[in-house]
Every structure is written in structure tokens, then in C-alpha cells.
A and B are shown apart, each in its own frame.
Chain A
Amino acid sequence: MTEAQPVAGVPRRLLWSRAEVVSLRDDTPRVRSLTLAVADWPGHLAGQHVDVRLTAEDGYQAQRSYSIASPPEAPLLELTVETISDGEVSPYLTGELRPGDIFELRGPIGGYFVWSERQPGPLVLIGGGSGVVPLMAMLRHRAIAGPTQPALLVYSSRNWDEIIYRDELERLAAADPSLRIVHTLTRAQPQGWQGFRRRVDKAMLEELGVPALASPNLFICGPTPMVETAAQASVELGIDAARIKTERFGPSGG
């Protein structure tokens, strides 16, 4: 290991930087993506997150973590944020922020839940709700790097309108025969819906051929119960536990 050499995604020291809002995009009624210009951004790996810190005029501060949605190759940083109605930071980020506004962030953070196209083996991504965000960074990175291995995204949403990046995912899949995207809609389905309509489970992963893949890399991100179920099912289907990376989120205690 060469300690002195700076490496993308592995900062020498974690410091707060200023992020300027460049543009905003509504993904779903409850989800908005922020495109940011970050001073001295050192680069990141697909799957990493940042800490965001807001400061009020009286000095009060609030801090939260958000996954990076943009691939390492993108010139600007994108965060995708789900609004939690009684939250403190997310309603500000999705409702109050305008282009030109400045807030603080630090990162990139986390070297565990990361994937690069250089990593051998098929890619299996399992996401629930806004847990798809770091997985999207991986798919975007994969598309830019040029896919060399098959990939599968199993994405669980409550209904059709809450699917984040729906059109972009469709475009990615249409442009890449080695990428398969499977939606499951757990609460409501559009008329004529032929797809899955339940939470991710063992039978679903089996039906999608996950056990037949040779040495796949699994990334599972979403609410804790979904992550636990999907990880457990994958182990039961014979996937090497060391190849399963997970990231859990949910409402934080306050």
C-alpha cells in the first residue's frame, strides 16, 4: 500500500467543502436530485456517500449523510434526496434550495459499498426506494466505462410514480443488452402490470437466475428489513457472503 499517493475516493483527510447548487431536477413527487459544484472535489468511487451540513443564522447546525448518484466520470456531483415530511434536512434540500445556494459537504466517504468496472464478475444490484441512489452511480459508471460483465438491477418501489430515474433506467437497459432491469411494485401497480408485486424475496432472486451466476458481486441498499431479507436470501441461494455488500438506512433516532 502506498500511503503517500492520493487515490480517488480515498481522501487523505476529511474536510468540509462548499457545494454550490448548479441545478435541480424532480425525479418523483418526493425525490429531487441536486447537481452541485464542489470546490476541490477529489473524485469518488461509485457507491460512496457524503455528509451534508447546514448552518442556520444563529449557528445551529444539522448534519446528514446522502449517497452520491453521479458516476466518478461526471464533472459535477449529483445527490438524490428523498423528502421526509417531518425531517429536518431533507425538506430543506428538496424544497428550499435554489440554484446558486451554498451549503457544506464533506467526502467522498466509505470504501466498503463501492464498485468499479475493473472488479471482475457479474453485477447484481438490489435496491429499495431511495436505496437505488448509490446503485445508480454504479450503473452510470458501468455505462460510461463500457460494460464487460452482465448486470441485473432488482428495484423495489411502492408504486410506478415513485420509481426514481425511471426513464433513465429504461434508456440504459435499451442501450445495453447485458443489463437487465426488473421492477417490483409493492403497494400499487398500473393497469396491466405484468411484473413482480411483492417485496424482494428468495423466490424472486431464484426466478431471476441469481444462483446461476458465476461469482457475482451483490450490492444491496435500502431500508433495513429489505436489506436483511435480500442478503439472507442471497446467502441461502449459495452466494458467497463475502461477495455481498450491504448498506442500510431508515429514519434516524432523534
Chain B
Amino acid sequence: MSESDLQPLDGNAAAGLLGEMFWRDMTTATGICAGCGSEGPFAEARLFASAMGSVLRCPHCDNVLLRAARTPRGVWLDMQGFRSLTFTPTPDAN
């Protein structure tokens, strides 16, 4: 399978998959990496997406923040690479 269509390569692109599960936009959340402790917007994390699944990595230390895969039995999600995620209300949601 050739998949060299241009694809978004950061956390912005994980919004679809996560929105499907959480019914909310995750890209505006701020996350702390469990690997190096650095803090940053979810949308700025590096995404490695393939037909097998999506892997989000810390832009500072490459630690795996999140892994997600879709199988016929459902969506599998591992977010243990985040020490925490902070959600603040956006102006548009007020």
C-alpha cells in the first residue's frame, strides 16, 4: 500500500481519532511529558501515523506520549506517556 499522500504530522491530526472517542477537541489541551517533564500543546506533539496506528511523540525527547490503533474490535488507546493533560476553556466555547 502506498501511503505517500501528504498527511499532517503533528498532534493536530490526531484530533479526529481522539474526537471520535472523547467527544471533545484534544488539540487545545496542554500536556506534560512523562519522559522529560516538558510542557506543551497537544497539537505540537509529533505524529507518526500509519495504517497500523498512530503514535504521538514528545517534540523534545521523542518519548511516546500516546499510541492508538483501530482494530475490528474497537479503538485501543495508551496515553501513559502523558504525566498529565490540562484542558482550559477556549474563548469560542464560552
Contacts and interface: CB of A to CB of B under 8 A. Distances in A.
Interface of A: 1-2, 7-14, 45, 49, 51, 64-65, 82, 84, 86-90, 106-107, 109-114, 116, 118-119, 130, 224, 245-254
B5 A1 contact: no
A252 B10 contact: no
Nearest to B52: A253
Contacts of A249: 6-9, 13
Interface residues of B, number: 37
Chain A residues touching B, majority SS: loop
A112 B43 contact: yes
A101 B13 CA distance: 26
B2 A109 contact: no
Contact of A7 (B15, B27, B93): B93
Given A11-B19, A111-B25, A112-B43, A254 B8 contact: no
A87 B10 contact: no
B16 A109 contact: yes
Contact of A90 (B5, B16, B50, B90): B5
B19 A250 contact: no
Nearest to B94: A1
B49 A112 contact: no
A246 B44 contact: yes
B4 A10 contact: no
16 contacts: A13-B23, A14-B23, A49-B13, A64-B7, A65-B7, A88-B1, A88-B2, A111-B28, A112-B15, A112-B42, A245-B43, A246-B43, A250-B7, A251-B4, A251-B6, A254-B2
A209 B27 CA distance: 30
A63 to B, nearest CB: 9
Contacts of B25: 10, 109-112
Q: 8 closest pairs, A vs B, by CB? A: A254-B3, A252-B7, A112-B43, A87-B5, A112-B27, A111-B25, A1-B89, A251-B4
Given A10-B93, A253-B49, A248 B9 contact: yes
Contact of A111 (B1, B13, B27, B50): B27
Chain B residues touching A, majority SS: mixed
B16 A10 contact: no
B90 A12 contact: no
A224 B47 CA distance: 11
A254 B10 contact: no
Given A14-B16, A116-B92, A248 B6 contact: no
A252 B49 contact: yes
B1 A254 contact: yes
A130 B23 CA distance: 29
Given A82-B6, A130-B6, 17 more contacts: A10-B24, A14-B20, A49-B15, A84-B5, A86-B4, A87-B2, A87-B5, A88-B1, A88-B5, A109-B25, A110-B25, A248-B8, A249-B7, A249-B8, A251-B3, A252-B3, A252-B6
Contacts of A119: 91
B19 A252 contact: no
Nearest to A9: B92
A89 to B, nearest CB: 5
Nearest to B3: A254
